Structure 1
Amino acid sequence: MDAENLHYFEKAPIGKAVAHFAVPMMLGTSMSVIYSILNAYFLGTLHNTAMLTALALTLPLFAVIMALGNLIGIGSGTFISRLLGETKYEEVKHVSAFAFYSSVMLGLLVIAAGLPLLSQIVHGLGATPDSYGFTKDYVMVMLIGSPLVVLFFTLENIVRSEGSAMTSMVGMILSVVVNILLDALVIFVFHWGVIGVATATVVSNIVASGYFAFHIKYKSKFLTFSPRWFKMTKTISSNVFKIGVPVFIMSVFLGAMSLVLNHFLVEYGDPAVAAYGISSRLLQFPEFILMGLCEGVVPLIAFSYTANRLRMKQTVSFTVKSIAVLAAIFGIAVYLISDHLIGLFTNDPQLIEMGSYILHVTFLSLFITGLTTLFTGIFQATGQGTPALVMSIIQGVTLIPVLFIANKTHGFHGVVWSLVIADAAAFLVGAAMLYALRNKLQPELESLVH
């Protein structure tokens, strides 16, 4: 580890340390949301609701592929940060090599399992007759490119885990910039539509993965993807998967929740699905900013957990205050300009009205969503596998029955409000578990959950 990264891990003032780790992650995640929004924007210029519907329907698939990258990446990354705190540098090499090759193998399994079931997957995503062809095109491209997409998310996590937050940010921004340029090219020049947008996403992940691989090979002191360092021991696999599996389950549940929501919204027509697709992308911007903050500090929390517990407590406290400020700023902004935000993607009055309504409702839970993400990050950073697993399933377990009941009793409005109820349930469960573990993690953490 270079002296600068070690300084931020061990000695820098808490505000500066959090900024060093979190700001690059926040910028990187916000850029990734921007290109997700721009995907919808570029397709929106074609004034084809079926294309926007297809883009919304394929969100669960991308969530699953991303989940595989996070399974290995976050599981390995938090373990790497704890190992660095214990100065076990040789083990870091073994873990990073394990992460690289495991992610590629998982991506190849996705191709082998997914392509033969292409039509079934498209039907399962809830494609309507109008959107079926567009959805199938997107799914096919994403399945073929899945090994590189999985690798991208894995490498981003392990690079960040060693303290190279700027490198992580540059890689994410590189992916976004390439994606935006290719989106414009495939939509306005080649007229490829949805299949072009999917191709742009895959290629941008390939470019960013190459950048991360270059950093690991030539710049990193401890990370490696050399085959000679690859090994699968019980210690490595158990530490990676006890955190990675809950992360994977959480991501799959998020994808499943999106899938279930789409199935309910289809009852109210393609405009409802498209409105949710647009509003969810806009909501992702503040959510990913807060996620970037919470995920950005995970390496600092993990390192401090094995090296300096008081510093860990101070990091968490500062992050909670930052979440509150950011949530207030974003909440005020969205209530002032929600119609204009939805209007950037469509001139359909019905879409604008429905999308604005969804934004108003879902933004109510932004602060508690941020805290829930932080709770999950604390459990991951400190190697608390069981609480991390509970956090990964609680929101989905809550949302599905609430959806059925709310849809029957309140229709479209009930479907939208179900999201807020599920967020509140996840927050309460996370707060209760953090309180129960306060002595094990750090006695002073008790003050954070009062």
Structure 2
Amino acid sequence: IAVWVGLSTGLTSALSRAMGERQGEKIRQYLRVCWRAIAVVSPGFTVLGVAIWFVAPHMDLEASVKRAFQIYGTVLIVGSAFTTFWSIIPDSLVKAHQDTRSTMWAGIWTNVINVVLNTLFLFVFHWGIFGIAFSTVLGRIGGLVYALARARVHERARIAHERTPLSDLDRHATRTVLGLAIPSSLTFVLMALETAVVNMLLAGRQHATEAIAAYAIYYRLVLFALQPVIAGAVALLPFAAMRCGSGDTAGVRRGLHQMIAASAVYSLIVVGPIMAVIAPWVANSLAESPLTAEYARFALFTIPFACLSGSVFLLCRPVFEAMGRGRPGLVMATLRYGFLMLPLAWIGMQEAERLGYPAIDGLVIALLVASGLSSLLFYAWMRNALEASAQG
């Protein structure tokens, strides 16, 4: 997923800026770069999938788990190498044309086909774990076909209406795409490490099982609540990149501020009241023990603030990427997840226990502080970058 996200980000940003500059030849350059990158990545993941088949039997797991992992990992990785990575190009083209609705429909078609095939393979053909993995692979073909069709429509319209008549070349086209793709992939990996670090911290505390379960409930609901903000960040990348290409820095700033304001309203006016009402019920419904429910209740009440503090971070990163700058996102992710999160979480847990509260309460508050600090610093950096771009 990290590789897919990185390549998609790099290509979407480059294509959108080229469209803003009305540079048709650059669009063709960036597409060729991505074709070559996929031609390397896809066989690489195919080899990785095959390797799983031979490595899995030697892993220190129960026999049934090893067999399931061997089948599922091999089928999913090998299949995804052909269906997932080749969807990067049509998906990026559709987003570069700012048709995020079609991106949504591609995802819907993927999920619908996946559910239908999953049901068929499991309950009719009785293919077990192989059927689950195979349906996931085949489901992505539906989204790929839909994205290809929409990308073809948009590209024909662009060429027919001569929206990109200029033919300047990017002398560093590969660097333009991969210079965003690599930092974006690494940023995604750093973000994914948060749960592992939290579980490690909680594992050494009293009632670790209940605390880890409560955090899992909290984390999943935070991700669910952040979906509109994440969707806004996805749409903000091509929006800002096209305006960067046309030199409309004021439009970029205006779009960013509107998205931040909308996210704040959503977090406090929508998520806040909903969580205030349903948090106890959700905690009791999802928890398997009273102690887990007790831990989860407090965490769930903080979800609006998690959305608010996290939204600025999520929205600033695509604007930097729209400017062709992938390093700021990686630097801020390293600061947040590599330097702030661990010490603040440890201090928060220590202080919570010293005051007689569960360690997970201090952990959740510490994560909010880390998120808020990194978001404020990221926004200040973004503001200075936009001002420098407007003056330069």
Letter in 2 for 1:240: V
- 1:281 corresponds in structure 2 to 220
Q: Does 1:76 align with 2:6?
A: no
Letter in 2 for 1:338: A
* 1:244 corresponds to which of 177, 181, 184: 181
* 1:156 corresponds to which of 73, 79, 91: 91
Tell whether the 8 Å contact from 2:295 to 2:360 is kept in structure 1 after alignment. Answer: no
Q: CA 1:194–1:163 in 2, change beyond 3 Å: closer, same or farther?
A: same
* 2:381 corresponds to which of 433, 438, 444: 433
- 1:290 corresponds in structure 2 to 229
- 2:20 corresponds in structure 1 to 85
Q: CA 1:412–1:176 in 2, change beyond 3 Å: closer, same or farther?
A: same
Distance in structure 1 (CA, Å) of the matches to 2:146 and 2:306 = 36
Tell whether the 8 Å contact from 2:180 to 2:321 is kept in structure 1 after alignment. Answer: yes
Q: Give the alignment's TM-score, normalised by structure 2.
A: 0.78
Distance in structure 2 (CA, Å) of the matches to 1:139 and 1:353 = 36
Structure 2 counterpart SS, 1:442: helix
Distance in structure 2 (CA, Å) of the matches to 1:346 and 1:192 = 32
Letter in 2 for 1:253: L
Q: Which runs of 5+ in 1 are unaligned?
A: 1-65, 224-231, 444-450
Distance in structure 2 (CA, Å) of the matches to 1:418 and 1:202 = 39
Tell whether the 8 Å contact from 1:81 to 1:162 is kept in structure 2 after alignment. Answer: yes
Q: Deviations over 1:202-231 (max 9, x none)?
A: 3322321232233334653369xxxxxxxx
* 1:379 corresponds to which of 313, 320, 336: 320
Distance in structure 1 (CA, Å) of the matches to 2:142 and 2:302 = 37
* 1:419 corresponds to which of 364, 367, 377: 367
* 1:320 corresponds to which of 260, 264, 285: 260
Q: Does 1:400 align with 2:348?
A: no
* 2:194 corresponds to which of 210, 235, 257: 257
Distance in structure 2 (CA, Å) of the matches to 1:193 and 1:350 = 35
Q: CA 1:73–1:158 in 2, change beyond 3 Å: closer, same or farther?
A: farther
Q: CA 1:285–1:195 in 2, change beyond 3 Å: closer, same or farther?
A: farther
Q: Deviations over 1:32-89 (max 9, x none)?
A: xxxxxxxxxxxxxxxxxxxxxxxxxxxxxxxxxx211111111111111110011111
Q: CA deviation at 1:195?
A: 6.4
Distance in structure 2 (CA, Å) of the matches to 1:123 and 1:412 = 36
- 1:311 corresponds in structure 2 to 251
Distance in structure 2 (CA, Å) of the matches to 1:119 and 1:98 = 33
Q: Any residues of structure 2 matched to 1:15-414 within 5 Å, and which?
A: 66-103=1-38, 105-113=40-48, 116=51, 139-147=73-81, 148-152=83-87, 155-182=90-117, 184=119, 197-217=132-152, 220-221=155-156, 235-267=172-204, 272-307=211-246, 308-328=248-268, 329-342=270-283, 349-397=290-338, 398-406=340-348, 410=353, 411-414=359-362
Tell whether the 8 Å contact from 1:257 to 1:400 is kept in structure 2 after alignment. Answer: no
With 212-221 and 180-189 compared, the bigger mean Cα shift is at 180-189
Q: Identity of paired residues, percent? A: 20
CA-based RMSD of the aligned residues comes to 3.7
Letter in 2 for 1:285: F
Q: CA deviation at 1:165?
A: 2.4
Tell whether the 8 Å contact from 1:186 to 1:196 is kept in structure 2 after alignment. Answer: yes
Distance in structure 2 (CA, Å) of the matches to 1:438 and 1:263 = 39
Distance in structure 2 (CA, Å) of the matches to 1:107 and 1:157 = 17
Q: CA 1:185–1:442 in 2, change beyond 3 Å: closer, same or farther?
A: farther
Distance in structure 1 (CA, Å) of the matches to 2:185 and 2:320 = 15
Letter in 1 for 2:12: G
Tell whether the 8 Å contact from 2:94 to 2:100 is kept in structure 1 after alignment. Answer: yes
Q: CA deviation at 1:152?
A: 3.8
Tell whether the 8 Å contact from 2:52 to 2:70 is kept in structure 1 after alignment. Answer: no
Q: CA 1:114–1:353 in 2, change beyond 3 Å: closer, same or farther?
A: farther
Q: Deviations over 1:251-301 (max 9, x none)?
A: 010122223233344555555444444432322122121011122122121
Tell whether the 8 Å contact from 1:371 to 1:427 is kept in structure 2 after alignment. Answer: yes
Q: Give the alignment's TM-score, normalised by structure 1.
A: 0.69
Q: CA 1:395–1:334 in 2, change beyond 3 Å: closer, same or farther?
A: same
Distance in structure 2 (CA, Å) of the matches to 1:278 and 1:191 = 32
With 430-439 and 263-272 compared, the bigger mean Cα shift is at 263-272
Letter in 2 for 1:279: Y
More RCO (CA 8 Å, sep 6+): 1
Tell whether the 8 Å contact from 2:210 to 2:289 is kept in structure 1 after alignment. Answer: no
Q: Deviations over 1:349-383 (max 9, x none)?
A: 45544444433334422112111111112111112
With 262-271 and 397-406 compared, the bigger mean Cα shift is at 262-271
Q: Which runs of 5+ in 2 are unaligned?
A: 160-168, 354-358
Letter in 2 for 1:386: R
**Greater gyration radius:** 2
Letter in 2 for 1:400: L
